[in-house]
Structure 1
Amino acid sequence: MNTPLLITIIILSIILFIIINILILLYIIYRKSFYFNPKKPKQSLDYLEYEKMKPYRETLVNLITNASKLPYEKVTIKSFDGLTLAAKLYLKDPNQPFDILVHGYKSFGIKDFSGGINLSLDNNHNVLLIDHRAHGESEGHIISFGINERYDVLSWIYYLNNRFGNNIIISLMGISMGGATVLMASELDLPDNVKLVIADCPFSSCVDIITKVTKEMKYPLFLVKRFLPLSARLFGKFDINASSALKAVPNSKLPILLIHGDKDGFVPYEMSIKIKNANPNIEFHTFKCDVHGLSYIFDTKRYKQIVTDFTNKHLN
């Protein structure tokens, strides 16, 4: 074998080796960040065994148990990209407002809204408790951190309007990734009967929250940040920079209520500060809570009062 040919083969082999390793890295990022198997829904209560959760365990177990016993109708729709999406409809009175409740990342509605569902029902509202794509009984494997999910929220709005009429009143309420999702949805061309948005402990953007977790896990931040967008596009078929809560709220015309625990260890409180600063009209309340998504449990009376006052103000 002549020398030029050997050099060419070596160079091509090195290039192929680099490409293969980049593809492997991209796939690992995709699997760690964006992939979830809905056939194995993460509906375990094992998280209650964490040290920080123990003071709230009994309350949460009771709330989840009671919420699980509430009668509901299972409803489904097709997403914009052909997935079957599922939700639980708790119908009290179709002449009263409808609250669309949107849960968090790799979670499920009954857990995240074990208290919130009763808050809505006690206010005589109807509830649509959705399963995100790739969660619960909905189809799909890809979590897009609100990028595609915001259009699913829009599809659920259309479902309610088609079934109950355009004169119903609709509120959007989300927690964690669900909070970010409803904030992103708020800048879409929503029907006029969508009246308000409530977001509890949302992250400011997909990139921000993955960066934060990457640092904590001591993964190579430079590689993750550089290849994250390509991983999402190549395997997830979405653009992580297409939207974010931070980008969306300046364009929203809806009243927004923002809630966050000031010692949140998972989604930093500072992310809500950034969101609030992007839209000075946002109503922002903080709780002295150090557990992600538990402001309702930490001070139930105050939480209920804040949400009820906000909804009464903007729905009446």
Structure 2
Amino acid sequence: MIAIIFKLFSSKNEEIKDKIELKVQFLHGLEGDLIKNKQPYLEKRFIQCSTPSMKVSRWNIFYTNSFPRCLFRNLFKISKSGSECLKNCLKIQADAILKNQPDIIFGESWGGAIGLLLLAYGYWKGPIILIAPALIRFLRLAGELDITIEDVLNKINENNLGQNILLIHGEKDSTIPYKNSLEILEKIKGIEFISYKDGDHELNFLIRDNSLAEIICNHYKKFEENQKK
């Protein structure tokens, strides 16, 4: 459907003349507006990279969906605050999908959590790449209310959307437990999984060696091939 133009460059300083003809929606992690390591990389290599701000933060009260503000709005009821935060971020990304019509979604950490919700609640049925999704860790810390781990994973499995997912996690991730991704693998059938033995939470070496763009392209091509079967 889409002709993919992909080139690997031996020099980091070499100008990128041809962008990859894919539209990517990037779901950032916590503090994503302050630490944008992957967004500039994606913008340089793809014809479109939309990064909707979820206005989420652990501590920054100027962000609408920061945890302190969600707690305050919900009278410091933790599970209710967690649910509101997830739902608000989910709506932002769902609205952006309708507006930008991406070809593929790429989410890391908190963004990976929202990516799972997009699949579970029917807002996205296309290819998606998730790095160390934070959903299980967050809900076990905040407490489950109307969004539960079991329900989210079961919905994705029941709709046979596991084959659309590429899950990536570093075994030395000190932020999101590696075992969380193993749990997702157990629950959802058909997921492709890439594990990095020495990988940390950010996996920024995927940017430095330019392998992230190749991973995104390969996953998209695999999705397209599965659609034709």
Q: TM-score, normalised by structure 1?
A: 0.50
Contact kept? 2:38, 2:207, Cα under 8 Å: no
In the other structure, the counterpart of 2:103 is 170
Q: CA deviation at 1:173?
A: 1.4
- The CA distance in 2 between the partners of 1:185 and 1:288, in whole Å, is 28
Contact kept? 1:109, 1:129, Cα under 8 Å: no
SS of the equivalent of 2:90 reads helix
Matched, 1:151 2:91: yes
- The CA distance in 1 between the partners of 2:56 and 2:94, in whole Å, is 17
Misfit runs of 4+, over 6 Å: none
Give 1:272-291 correspondences, 5 Å limit: 272-291=181-200
In the other structure, the counterpart of 2:134 is 203
In the other structure, the counterpart of 2:3 is none
Q: Whose radius of gyration is greater, 1 or 2? A: 1
- The CA distance in 2 between the partners of 1:279 and 1:120, in whole Å, is 31
CA 1:116–1:247 in structure 2 vs 1: closer, same or farther (change >3 Å)?
Answer: farther
Contact kept? 1:99, 1:171, Cα under 8 Å: yes
**Which has a greater percent of helix?**
1
In the other structure, the counterpart of 1:188 is 121
Query: Which segment is superposed worse, 145-154 or 284-293?
Result: 145-154
- The CA distance in 2 between the partners of 1:133 and 1:110, in whole Å, is 11
Matched, 1:115 2:55: no
- The CA distance in 2 between the partners of 1:274 and 1:181, in whole Å, is 17
Alignment coverage as a number of residue pairs? 186
Q: CA deviation at 1:187?
A: 1.7
Contact kept? 1:171, 1:196, Cα under 8 Å: yes
Q: CA deviation at 1:278?
A: 1.1
Contact kept? 1:204, 1:246, Cα under 8 Å: no
SS of the equivalent of 1:100 reads strand
- The CA distance in 2 between the partners of 1:169 and 1:115, in whole Å, is 17
In the other structure, the counterpart of 2:220 is 311
SS of the equivalent of 2:86 reads coil
In the other structure, the counterpart of 1:139 is 64
CA 1:280–1:247 in structure 2 vs 1: closer, same or farther (change >3 Å)?
Answer: closer
- Deviation string 1:292-316 (CA, Å, 9 cap, x unpaired) is 1225448735444333211232257
CA 1:256–1:290 in structure 2 vs 1: closer, same or farther (change >3 Å)?
Answer: closer
Contact kept? 1:99, 1:173, Cα under 8 Å: yes
- The CA distance in 1 between the partners of 2:213 and 2:198, in whole Å, is 16
In the other structure, the counterpart of 2:22 is 97
Give 1:178-257 correspondences, 5 Å limit: 178-190=111-123, 195-205=126-136, 206-208=138-140, 210=141, 228-229=142-143, 240-244=145-149, 246-254=153-161, 255-257=164-166
Matched, 1:300 2:205: no
- The CA distance in 2 between the partners of 1:289 and 1:252, in whole Å, is 33
When the two chains are superposed, the root-mean-square deviation of aligned CA atoms in Å is 3.4
- The CA distance in 2 between the partners of 1:110 and 1:101, in whole Å, is 15
In the other structure, the counterpart of 1:268 is 177
- The CA distance in 1 between the partners of 2:153 and 2:135, in whole Å, is 5
- The CA distance in 2 between the partners of 1:129 and 1:169, in whole Å, is 11
CA 1:99–1:248 in structure 2 vs 1: closer, same or farther (change >3 Å)?
Answer: farther
- The CA distance in 1 between the partners of 2:208 and 2:103, in whole Å, is 26
Identity of aligned residues (%): 20
Contact kept? 2:169, 2:195, Cα under 8 Å: yes
- Deviation string 1:3-32 (CA, Å, 9 cap, x unpaired) is xxxxxxxxxxxxxxxxxxxxxxxxxxxxxx
SS of the equivalent of 1:258 reads strand
